[in-house]
Amino acid sequence: MVTSNYLRLRYWFLLTGPEFLCCKNYLLQEFSRICRLRAYVTNYRLRKKHMTAELVNVMEFQELAKKVLPKMYYDYFSGGAEDEHTLRENVEAFRRITFQPRILVDVSNVNLSSTILGYNISAPIIIAPTGMLKLAHPEGEVATARAAALCNTIMVMSFSSTCTIEEVASSCNAIRFFQLYVYRRRDVSYQLVQRAERYGFKAIVLTADTPRLGRRERDIKNKMVPPPLKILEGLLSVELDPEKGGSKLENFAAKTMDPSLNWKDVEWLKSITNLPILIKGVLTAEDARKAVEVGVAGIIVSNHGARQLDYVPASISVLEEVVEAVNGEVPVLLDGGIRRGTDVFKALALGAQAVLIGRPMVYGLAAKGEYGVRRVTEMLRDELELTMALTGCSSLEDITMSHVRTERDRLRSLL
Ligand SMILES: Cc1cc2nc3c(=O)[nH]c(=O)nc-3n(C[C@H](O)[C@H](O)[C@H](O)COP(=O)(O)O)c2cc1C
Ligand SMILES: CCCCC(=O)C(=O)O
């Protein structure tokens, strides 16, 4: 207990130091200084020790992230809702899809380049919005954006960011989309949409699966404390209930998120921005049709990395029916559980135009900063390229449903 509190303080001070220096007590200040120093040294040693070891896949980044992060933060990043059934399913469902490769196809040139909403990217692999990245690395969202720029891909910046829109925008020339949470204080969401547009973000990604935060029991146990969200500086300050136990993040979300958000609000969003709007969190054909009807520019099939409602299906399991319902009217993207280039291929085969990657990017960031995010992106891209070569696809257009065998196919063949 004492050790875990000590660790919590140690890393809290390391990452958010200046905010805490309001403590009047001299002893506490000294304690904080020593804690930060010790955390810095420990972290540095751990990073250095693993710096030389070659990591060969994104799961190894997760192992390294687990070693370098304090438990509270690793649990926040890696955890899911309640029993974490969907968390496991997101990964397992990919494993149940197998390949039907074609042979004797000329694959001496494999082309992965792709276009999303008119923006050219090097591969259909983009960075999902993930909140509070300074808990993973002191350079947080800025390092992530720089990696996106180097890999020539898109970064979706989270509304729950520990850097400001301006910091991220001025850090590099990455193609950036802005993920939006609609707050009870609509003026806060309004202001941030305006700023994103002004600072060159290319699309708004409206997350629609979070009227309330899912029950994340690891965060409850750890009494997860969110860091200051710099993105909200000057716009909103939230007083967390000191008496309330459990996850302070949950407390924060309950105070900020607008649970009344509904389909009509997409009209409101369209009225305040000229940017294309993608809707994130679609899991059914019905909602996909509604999204098309209200005029969104794209759909992201997602269960929020299994962090919201447990026992929803793995996102890959519902992709086919969403794609059928959308009938090519807008692009369909997918996230959740992608850990291999083979997973990316499977999603593309079932109709996704691109995929978003959440946790692996965070693990890359935690383990090796900007370089780690770049390596994760490159690893997935290289694996996708190899998968294409070995299935007989030299371009993304060549990838079809006939290259994979799903559970649906297996059931059909039994009839
Ligand atoms: C630590 C963490 C923070 C997240 N924060 C956000 C967020 O701020 N906004 C959002 O729309 N989705 C958020 N997500 C969900 C991701 O955008 C994405 O849907 C999910 O991570 C994909 O699953 P994967 O982690 O298995 O790749 C978060 C996910 C994680 C793991
Ligand atoms: C209050 C929301 C935090 C970011 C988020 O969406 C997540 O942790 O899944």
- 3/5 Cα distance (integer angstroms): 5
Q: Hey, which of 141, 249, 303, 362 would you mutate to test ligand 2's pocket, going by the most ligand atoms within 8 Å of its Cβ?
A: 249
159 CA from centroid of ligand 1 (Å): 11
Q: What is the ipTM of this complex?
A: 0.99
Residues with CB under 6 A from ligand 2: 131, 160, 213, 249, 253, 304, 307
For residue 257, which atom of ligand 2 is closest to its CA?
1
CA distances to 59, 346, 362, 410 from 405, in Å: 24, 9, 31, 7
Residue nearest to atom 6 of ligand 2 (CA): 131
Interior/surface letters 53-70, b for 16+ CB within 10 angstroms, e for the rest: eebeebebbbebbbebbb
Residue 415: predicted pLDDT: 85
For residue 210, which atom of ligand 2 is closest to its CA?
6
Q: Is residue 305 lining ligand 1, measured as CB closer than 6 Å?
A: yes
pTM recorded for the entire structure:
0.90
391 CA from centroid of ligand 1 (Å): 30
Counting ligands in written order, which one lies closest to the CA of residue 156?
1
Q: Hey, which of 86, 213, 252, 307 would you mutate to test ligand 2's pocket, going by the most ligand atoms within 8 Å of its Cβ?
A: 213
- Residues 125, 377 contacting (CB under 8 angstroms): yes
For residue 52, count CB atoms less than 10 angstroms from its CB and return exposed for 0-12, middle for 13-18, buried for 19 or more: exposed
280 CA from centroid of ligand 1 (Å): 11
414 CA from centroid of ligand 1 (Å): 37
Residue 38: predicted pLDDT: 53
pLDDT digits (tens, 9 = 90+) for 14-27: 444 444 444 443 44
Residue 243: predicted pLDDT: 84
Residue nearest to atom 5 of ligand 2 (CA): 131
Dihedral angle sign, alpha carbons of residues 209, 278, 84, 148: negative
Residues involved in catalysis: 304
Per-residue pLDDT of the chain (415 residues; tens, 9 = 90+): 334 444 444 454 444 444 444 444 344 344 434 444 455 455 656 555 555 578 999 999 999 999 999 999 999 999 999 999 999 999 999 999 999 999 999 999 999 999 999 999 999 999 999 999 999 999 999 999 999 999 999 999 999 999 999 999 999 999 999 999 999 999 999 999 999 999 999 999 999 999 999 999 999 999 999 999 999 999 999 999 888 889 999 999 999 999 999 999 999 999 999 999 999 999 999 999 999 999 999 999 999 999 999 999 999 999 999 999 999 999 999 999 999 999 999 999 999 999 999 999 999 999 999 999 999 999 999 999 999 999 999 999 999 999 999 998 989 889 8
- 360/127 Cα distance (integer angstroms): 10
> 61: which 2 tokens?
């980044």
Counting ligands in written order, which one lies closest to the CA of residue 144?
1
185 CA from centroid of ligand 1 (Å): 22
